[in-house]
A = this chain, B = another copy of it.
Amino acid sequence: MKKIGIVNGGGDTQAMNAVIASIVRTGVNRDYKFLGFIKGWEGLLDNEYIPLEVKDVRGISHIGGTILQTTNKGRFAAKEGDGQTRKIPQDLINLAKKNAAMLGVEAFIVIGGDGTLSGAQQLVDQGIKLIGVPKTIDNDLSIVDKTFGFSTAVDIVVEALDRIHTTALSHNRVFFVETMGRYAGWIALHAGLAGAANAILIPELQFDYKNLVNFLSWRKRIGKNYSIVVVAEGSRAVNEDFVTNPEFTAAENRLGGISYEIMKRIERMSPGEFEMRNVILGHTQRGGTPNAEDRILAKVYGTSAIDALDAERFGHMVALVDGEMRTVPITDVVSSLKLVTDEDLSLQTARKLGIYFGEEFNS
């Protein structure tokens, strides 16, 4: 009977518990034993963990969050805020190895995104046996078709857009609905397409304030009495940075979100022309009950991680690629992010339907 450590890292998403539960349920049938480390690798470094048997994972698959807690500031986080990779200190790696040996943990299943998996790769390089499970609400891991949590996040944004639509119809307003998506605009794009936004701003397609104002003015001019703009949090205008308040420190200024920034800029460019409101969904996009698709995806990933363990595919990640479960080297996955490109079917569909993406607009 092999003892396996379960480690999750980074921000939580809706179906992490479903992954953990399916790992344990499947693994126990194949004679594995599990320890769950609290707050990811932190739990290994600090010797905080719980044994995980089937009774411990009963009835958790439809509950958001993670019973193991998580952190995106752990000592093994290997990506800085600017996306640069950071080397994990050797003494910490040694400590991890020592603790694992003392606990009799022979291998790990690591559930995480770009940052967590980059760190995991450094452990692999040092001889630690582990299997990766991809996790990102932003769906921006390269190679992987789809990650759990993303579909639920899109559902949540679309529900908000549906609500905004009925109320917007009555008033002459411009609504900005700010979504997650620091580097990749998948949530904004899918939600805006499903929820019938008039414009979608994403990090991959920088916008120009002048064009945006032209677009909004044009809609007013042709008699549309409202506009709904979905904005990914990482969206940026060409050649422009946030307007900072000199009275505030940098930390204070960072508290403002992109939707406020845009509203303030537009108000400054065309004072009084638009009545604007924003909605910031924030962490509601990460929490709550996962939808059916995300639960299935999580269960497919969790059970496949045990298959990969059986096959001793250490240093690999289980990944749904073109609809099939495979294992791919972790290094291949973390080398670049999956961003929205012009070839994407959902972007193309949105464009055919006339959704505006911040491009040149004169009319």
Chain A residues within 8 Å of B, Cβ to Cβ: 11-12, 14, 22, 25-26, 29, 59, 61-66, 69-72, 145, 151, 154-160, 162-171, 175, 190-191, 193-196, 243, 245-249, 251-252, 255-256, 260, 263-264, 267-268, 271-272, 276-289, 291-293, 295-296, 299-300, 303-304, 306, 322-325, 345-346, 348-349, 352-354
Closest to A300 in B: B349
Nearest first, the 3 closest Cβ-Cβ pairs linking A and B are A64-B166, A163-B287, A167-B287
Whether A61 touches B196, Cβ cut-off 8 Å, given contacts A293-B151, A322-B322, is yes
Residues of chain B within 8 A of A289, CB atoms compared: 162
In contact, A162 and B288 (Cβ under 8 angstroms): yes
In the assembly, what is the distance between CA of A300 and CA of B349, in Å?
A: 6
Shortest Cβ gap from A246 to chain B (Å): 7
In the assembly, what is the distance between CA of A162 and CA of B283, in Å?
A: 11
Whether A252 touches B268, Cβ cut-off 8 Å, given contacts A323-B323, A353-B299, A354-B29, is yes
Whether A352 touches B292, Cβ cut-off 8 Å, given contacts A271-B251, A283-B279, is no
Shortest Cβ gap from A340 to chain B (Å): 14
In the assembly, what is the distance between CA of A65 and CA of B271, in Å?
A: 28
In the assembly, what is the distance between CA of A306 and CA of B249, in Å?
A: 48
Shortest Cβ gap from A208 to chain B (Å): 20
In contact, A296 and B353 (Cβ under 8 angstroms): no
In contact, B248 and A264 (Cβ under 8 angstroms): yes
In contact, A167 and B292 (Cβ under 8 angstroms): no
Partner of A167, one of B64, B175, B322, B348: B64
Shortest Cβ gap from A78 to chain B (Å): 19
In the assembly, what is the distance between CA of A293 and CA of B153, in Å?
A: 11
Interchain residue pairs with CB less than 8 A apart (30):
A25-B353, A29-B354, A61-B196, A62-B165, A64-B167, A65-B167, A65-B169, A65-B170, A69-B169, A71-B171, A145-B323, A154-B293, A158-B295, A162-B287, A162-B288, A167-B286, A168-B283, A175-B283, A193-B295, A194-B295, A245-B245, A246-B247, A252-B268, A255-B260, A255-B267, A256-B260, A277-B282, A299-B349, A304-B349, A323-B323
In contact, B249 and A271 (Cβ under 8 angstroms): yes
In contact, A12 and B284 (Cβ under 8 angstroms): no
In contact, A282 and B279 (Cβ under 8 angstroms): yes
In contact, B247 and A299 (Cβ under 8 angstroms): no
Residues of chain B within 8 A of A352, CB atoms compared: 22, 26, 29, 303, 306
Residues of chain B within 8 A of A66, CB atoms compared: 170
Residues of chain B within 8 A of A299, CB atoms compared: 193-194, 349, 353
Closest to A13 in B: B167
